[in-house]
Structure 1
């Protein structure tokens, strides 16, 4: 199998474990002394290599290089990067530490669902990773169970930084970020957003850990908004983002009162419900931060 260095391979490829628009991810083993397992992300760009590496790839590598210096336990580690030109195409290879499974697989393996203590542990680690990113002015923008890895030792690591960005105050970025089911209202409303979009996604994941299914399963942006308002209530008009091209209307959620509910999921206890409400606040400025969430009574370590 060809490798990213055009001529020699430092890895023995064992299995294909993922595929995306630009390439594939393989489980591999290092050749040599260490023989550790790694995940090799091979990206291939057909066409004129002189046009260079696409911005999103440069961004992912640059961000991973920036954060690898800190060696945070809840961020997947980038071990190696290589690029070369082959047959009028550009090959880029990223090598990461290998993690056994993603959060979706981890949840599916629990026949009777995850225990409250397991959920607490996953959320604590996830929010520690998010707090680290946000403290370094990074917003992930595509947080979902498939992009959260869980090792056989229960270590939770945030992965896939292809959509991540360094943010400044109230950035207005492309709305085509975050998988639809985990997308914050301000993104659905094509409004400016900040790191709080990641906290909304974390809130959706938090609920999913209890439900064993996604909390909001819309198939269009409009349907996704309606499902959100059916659960948290239609916000007041003054909280609707003024820059949104989508107009406020009571018709968005005809079955709900305009005042948000106080019990998001009937099965939740008082502490977890309060944390979930904080993550799923409609107005970004009212949404709890990752740092504050870690100090919440449900997650605080005593």
Structure 2
């Protein structure tokens, strides 16, 4: 009989109730195995420094987990290495769903996997690639879903936090935004709305490659999509979502505008703690819209108490130049139909 207990620092320790006569101690280091003999050792308890707990398997591949690099509501993300001649680095998202295993993987995860599989056929460089998937039963009931992605060094939040006080530099900002908008244009052309664009969900490699990630809230696009209670993280959430109205793919453009401002400011543009406060912070910058532009299907009534309209010739961010402000203003237009598209943004003078 073999009992495995997991060791945090040294990997796993195997205890064997029945052992070899020579009391061999086996050391498992990655894929290599070495043995040593000691007659004086307890033949009933063998401790083996062993990394089996740091292994992950799919139907066709095996991976060595190297480090935990993230954690979410349903599980954790690991940096890992494929156990193969290539030994490529990957990121593995391990998600645990407790309960009746007969229920299977939740529908929202099936949608995410199906969407990433579909998008992966196009090999668009600014969309994260899903390489492999594994689903299995776990002890105590429930299921574990493993999603293997290409490994990217850091997210945009980390990248911005490392910027010098003088800023990222105009060329770098243009490059990041151009790649982000190329990815967005690809999604929108394929009738997909991401619905949760934020620096945490945008990855940037050591080579400067920008990739849109985390498609948990992404959906195929339909005109005036049916309302979902919460989409888009609060600081990057557009007014139409905050006001509880129907929305379109332009929700992603608003989020991209917030990210553009953050690349310049090195901090979020609208940092509210509640939905009402978020609206107030938005109106402080873009001004209150006209009563004609206020969405008719919003449960929130129009009120001049929100603030005042912004004069047409006023820059959103006076610290930036006219071209930057113009693109920002077109991304952050209150009325969704007035926002620039991702395709149009790529031809904007600021990015040319």
2:214: which partner in 1? 160
Distance in 1 of aligned mates of 2:291 and 2:134: 51
* C-alpha contact 1:4 1:91 (8 A) present in aligned 2: no
Query: Which of 82, 86, 90 is equivalent to 2:143?
Result: 90
* C-alpha contact 2:135 2:143 (8 A) present in aligned 1: yes
2:3: which partner in 1? none
Distance in 1 of aligned mates of 2:158 and 2:240: 29
The SS at the match of 1:173 is coil
Pair 1:4–1:247, CA change in 2 (3 A):
farther
Query: What TM-score results when the alignment is normalised by the length of structure 1?
Result: 0.95
Q: Which deviates further from its counterpart, 171-180 or 226-235?
A: 171-180
Q: Does 1:35 align with 2:87?
A: yes
* C-alpha contact 2:57 2:63 (8 A) present in aligned 1: no
Query: What TM-score results when the alignment is normalised by the length of structure 2?
Result: 0.82
Relative contact order higher in (CA < 8 Å, ≥ 6 apart): 1
* C-alpha contact 1:175 1:188 (8 A) present in aligned 2: no
Query: Which of 264, 276, 281 is equivalent to 1:210?
Result: 264
1:262: which partner in 2? 314
The SS at the match of 2:351 is coil
CA-CA distance at 1:56 after TM superposition: 1.4
* C-alpha contact 2:330 2:340 (8 A) present in aligned 1: yes
Pair 1:153–1:298, CA change in 2 (3 A):
same
Mark the runs of 5 or more structure 1 residues left unpaired by the alignment.
none
CA-CA distance at 1:57 after TM superposition: 0.6
Query: Which structure shows the bigger proportion of residues in strand conformation?
Result: 2
Q: Does 1:108 align with 2:161?
A: yes
Bigger radius of gyration among the two: 2
CA-CA distance at 1:262 after TM superposition: 3.0
Query: Which of 217, 231, 246 is equivalent to 1:192?
Result: 246
Pair 1:186–1:12, CA change in 2 (3 A):
same
1:13-24 mapped onto 2 (5 Å cutoff): 13-24=65-76
Question: Per-residue displacement from partner, 1:108-144 (whole Å, max 9, x unpaired)?
Answer: 2221310011100000000000000000000000000
Distance in 1 of aligned mates of 2:59 and 2:258: 45
The SS at the match of 1:157 is strand
Distance in 2 of aligned mates of 1:161 and 1:7: 23
2:295: which partner in 1? 241
CA-CA distance at 1:242 after TM superposition: 0.7
Mark the runs of 5 or more structure 2 residues left unpaired by the alignment.
1-52
1:1-302 mapped onto 2 (5 Å cutoff): 1=53, 5=57, 10-87=62-139, 88-111=141-164, 112-253=166-307, 256-257=308-309, 262-300=314-352
CA-CA distance at 1:3 after TM superposition: 6.0
CA-CA distance at 1:54 after TM superposition: 1.0
CA-CA distance at 1:6 after TM superposition: 8.2
The SS at the match of 1:210 is helix
Aligned-pair RMSD on alpha carbons?
A: 1.6
CA-CA distance at 1:105 after TM superposition: 1.1
Off by >6 Å, runs of 4+ in structure 1:
6-9
Question: Per-residue displacement from partner, 1:176-201 (whole Å, max 9, x unpaired)?
Answer: 01100000000000100011000000
In the alignment of these two chains, the number of paired residues is: 298
Distance in 2 of aligned mates of 1:261 and 1:143: 29
CA-CA distance at 1:53 after TM superposition: 1.3
Distance in 1 of aligned mates of 2:167 and 2:274: 29
